[in-house]
């Protein structure tokens, strides 16, 4: 096992963990959705990279070629991309509604808003 | 050579994500996310996934960026400075990442023709697909022919998301009309 034989897996793991970190650590809801998107695209890589064969070509059958990459992950990820953008759009619509209801999209301020003893008078 | 191209593009994606995580201006974040998606589409071309690359460039880099810019316009927001250093999330993600890296050590190497993924189901589709469906592009053949019902299910998901968005944003318009 050399460095480059597993480099694609490690980059995928780094991207997934960076996305997870943004979702956990950043308070802004739009930034959180960007983190979620990064996590999602890293999974595309996890599926597509093992299907590649160096020296092969895209899976469009022609007599001139013998070696093709695996078409099945491509089909799965095509579906995943479209579903991903649908969920992203729904998430953004929720963010817009939250902003209109509370006037902010920062998690800390939203939690302060939701706390039962919210409001200036009950706090010193 | 192909491996070198893929690895260079992957390294560029790592750089883009690190810069993205550190940027606080949301407009810059969204533009960087578009850049990241285009890099991902380029990696997909290098990985011989041309159909996926086209979809990623159009949907991931195009529509997602437009949707995010629209939401940003409606929210007019700048990310607040975090109150404390994010050591706990950093530790959690680093630990998870290390466990996952440990899990990859047993996986087949990049572009190993003897890996199970290349020897089990795929050859059957590559050999018989064009003859059975009459479509030379195997991805299209699987998507539209063998797995047509999955694609129908996908349309249902997109429809549901669209209905949800309309329900959320319609309420908003009614409220603003009541308010004035």
Interface touch A34/B117, C-beta < 8 Å: no
Q: How close does chain B come to A34, measured CA to CA in Å?
A: 7
A106 by DSSP, 3-state: which? strand
* pLDDT in single tens digits along all 180 residues of chain B: 888 898 899 999 999 999 999 888 899 999 999 999 999 999 999 998 899 999 999 998 999 999 999 999 988 777 777 777 888 989 999 999 999 999 988 888 888 888 888 888 888 888 888 888 888 888 888 888 888 888 888 899 999 999 999 998 887 666 666 554
Q: What is the ipTM of this complex?
A: 0.87
A84 touches chain B (CB under 8 A): yes
Give the distance from residue B34's alpha carbon to the nearest chain A alpha carbon, in angstroms: 10
> Does the CB of A111 have a partner CB in chain B at under 8 Å?
no
Facing residue for B125 by CB, picked from A33, A49, A71: A71
Residue B33, chain A, CB below 8 Å: the answer is: yes
The full set of domains in chain A, from first to last, is 7-114 (1.10.287.3510)
pLDDT of residue B164: 93
**CB contact (8 A) between residue A86 and residue B130:** no
- Please tell me if residue B148 touches chain A, with a CB cutoff of 8 Å: no
In chain A, the N- to C-terminal Cα span, in Å, equals 62
Contact state of B36 with A44 under an 8 Å Cβ cutoff: no
Short-list B110, B109, B104, B100, CA closest to B47: B110
pLDDT score at B177: 61
Report DSSP letters for B119-149, one per residue. HTTHHHHHHHHHHHHS-SBHHHIIIIIITHH
A3 Cβ under 8 Å from any chain B Cβ: no
CA distances from A24 to A34, B86, B135 (A): 12, 9, 45
User: Within chain A, which residues score under 50 in pLDDT?
Assistant: 118, 120-124
């Amino acid at each position: 096992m050399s460095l480059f034989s597993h480099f694609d897996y490690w980059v995928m793991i780094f991207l997934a963990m960076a996305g997870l970190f943004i979702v956990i650590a950043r308070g802004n809801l739009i930034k959180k959705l960007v983190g979620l998107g990064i996590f999602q695209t890293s999974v595309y890589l996890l599926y597509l990279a093992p299907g590649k064969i160096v020296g092969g070509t895209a899976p469009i059958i022609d007599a001139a070629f013998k070696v093709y990459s695996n078409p099945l992950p491509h089909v799965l990820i095509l579906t995943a991309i479209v579903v991903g953008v649908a969920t992203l759009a729904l998430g953004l619509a929720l963010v817009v509604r939250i902003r209109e209801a509370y006037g902010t999209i920062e998690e800390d301020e939203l939690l302060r808003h939701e706390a039962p003893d919210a409001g200036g008078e009950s706090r010193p | 050579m192909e491996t070198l191209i893929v690895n260079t593009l992957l390294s560029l994606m790592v750089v883009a994500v690190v810069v993205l995580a550190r940027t606080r201006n949301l407009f810059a974040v969204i533009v960087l996310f578009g850049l990241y998606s285009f890099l991902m589409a380029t990696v997909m071309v290098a990985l011989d996934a041309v159909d996926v690359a086209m979809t990623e460039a159009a949907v991931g880099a195009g529509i997602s960026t437009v949707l995010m810019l629209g939401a940003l316009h409606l929210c007019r927001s700048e990310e607040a400075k975090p109150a404390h250093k994010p050591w706990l999330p950093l530790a959690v993600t680093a630990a998870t990442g290390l466990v996952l890296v440990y899990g990859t050590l047993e996986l087949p190497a990049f572009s190993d023709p003897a890996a199970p993924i290349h020897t089990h189901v795929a050859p059957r589709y590559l050999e018989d697909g064009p003859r059975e469906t009459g479509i030379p592009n195997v991805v299209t053949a699987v998507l539209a022919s063998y797995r047509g019902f999955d694609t129908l299910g996908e349309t249902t998901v997109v429809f549901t998301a669209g209905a949800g968005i309309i329900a959320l944003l319609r309420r908003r318009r009614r409220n603003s009309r009541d308010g004035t």
